[in-house]
Structure 1
């Protein structure tokens, strides 16, 4: 359980073990972001949309690690709450919090088209993006030509060919859009604007889940029985990087 906290990122004052545990909203988004951002080639001064940023952990990671400007956008977490977190960490000049539904992009215009050099989404795309038209309709317009895209989404190692397995049935909800790497790849390949560089299984799924289950968030406590039943058989994360061609 200590692996991630031995890295340089967590030896600084920015993220203590206690701080990360207090602000997690699911499997450790920092681990997932660190892994996928290694393929993004982010540079200081770039403008990045951190979509579904939650409590802003990944936004602060982006700003501190790469020196980029971040718009931290989330539907459920109040912008004022994230603004306070960013202020406390001395990052209010680098990160702009925004409370907004991604389905309102680009029709509502808090920023113009072609605003961002990159987009990052960790562990929320399955809630809203599991249709072939979503990316091109709502996200591609706000990313610059040549802009970079990184998405990490929870899913399945193999399909549920016989329906939801009995061991997972007590925990399953209709809105859980868990699919395989191949399913997500085929979905994103339908985009007219997204050129995929990589779409494969994340290497840190187990660790990200373990760190979530170790915290005392009520949702993490609830998930412990599900993950015990899953027992490493079904779940993974799909990580995808690509660029915008328009």
Structure 2
């Protein structure tokens, strides 16, 4: 199968590499037709809709910063409005019974939960079925100290990158702490390219993101990256 996430009309990414990372993550999760999938941090809903259409699954799409209208609109555009349910919920406390999803997916969202990642992962593990998989793909940092000038630029915008970004190894260790067997983990080799494309397409027109734009440009792949971790319950 070609990557259907790269064929989305008018893509509205909420972060770098969202659609590029989706395909390898979905494959690593082993998603099959008929599955029930939970997406944590659904953004515009385009990933949920594409997943529902091309893998023939049902998706519960959680997005705490959205009323769900955009998610359902994008699902309707692909004629999968009956397969995608948008819910305005935070993942730290999920209103679902144990073992009720076949897979849990999060793209560009888990890192934004910051210090609540452990409690959130515990909930993600609780609701996935035994043998089911939990996977994240998102901005991560490389296992090296953050360069001083990059830290300075990040501090100008509140230090969000330093608060949110963790290494692949850190996330693997967290998965193992919550009894997930790590079956796939990696940094994406095209991470810098995807960061630069995100900067050009989504940040260049926003003057309040000037320090972030400069950070992405000057980092040169020394610290910021994109990674994936998949674990099995």
Structures share fold, TM-score greater than 0.5: yes
Q: Which residue of 1 aligns with 2:111?
A: 126
Q: Answer yes or no: is the 8 Å Cα contact 2:151–2:159 preserved in 1.
A: no
CA distance in 2, matches of 1:197, 1:86: 30
TM-score w.r.t. length of structure 1: 0.81
Question: Structure 1, residues 157-216: CA drift from partner, whole Å, max 9, x if none?
Answer: 1232xx66223412233443212222222222211x311112221233123223322324
Question: Structure 1, residues 88-116: CA drift from partner, whole Å, max 9, x if none?
Answer: 331101111111111122xxx2x322220
Q: Report whether the alignment pairs 1:183 with 2:178.
A: no
Which of 85, 90, 106 matches 1:101? 90
Which of 50, 60, 76 matches 2:39? 50
Q: Answer yes or no: is the 8 Å Cα contact 2:105–2:135 preserved in 1.
A: yes
Q: Which residue of 1 aligns with 2:136?
A: 151
TM-score w.r.t. length of structure 2: 0.85
CA distance in 2, matches of 1:138, 1:48: 14
Which of 185, 189, 196 matches 1:210? 196
Which has the larger helix fraction?
Answer: 2
Question: Structure 1, residues 219-241: CA drift from partner, whole Å, max 9, x if none?
Answer: 69824222112122111122111
CA distance in 2, matches of 1:177, 1:141: 23
Deviation at 1:135, TM superposition (A): 4.7
Q: Structure 1: which 4+ aligned runs deviate by more than 6 Å?
A: none
CA distance in 2, matches of 1:220, 1:182: 34
Question: Structure 1, residues 9-50: CA drift from partner, whole Å, max 9, x if none?
Answer: 2685xx13xx01xx1111131111112222222111100001
Gaps of 5+ in 2: none
RMSD, matched Cα: 2.4
Which of 75, 80, 83 matches 1:91? 80
Which of 56, 60, 66 matches 1:77? 66
Question: Structure 1, residues 52-90: CA drift from partner, whole Å, max 9, x if none?
Answer: 010012112211221111111111122123112212331
The alignment covers a number of residue pairs equal to 225
Which of 6, 9, 15 matches 2:4? 9
Q: Answer yes or no: is the 8 Å Cα contact 2:16–2:139 preserved in 1.
A: no
Q: Which residue of 2 aligns with 1:200?
A: 186
CA distance in 1, matches of 2:62, 2:35: 16
Q: Answer yes or no: is the 8 Å Cα contact 1:116–1:144 preserved in 2.
A: yes
Q: Answer yes or no: is the 8 Å Cα contact 2:111–2:165 preserved in 1.
A: yes
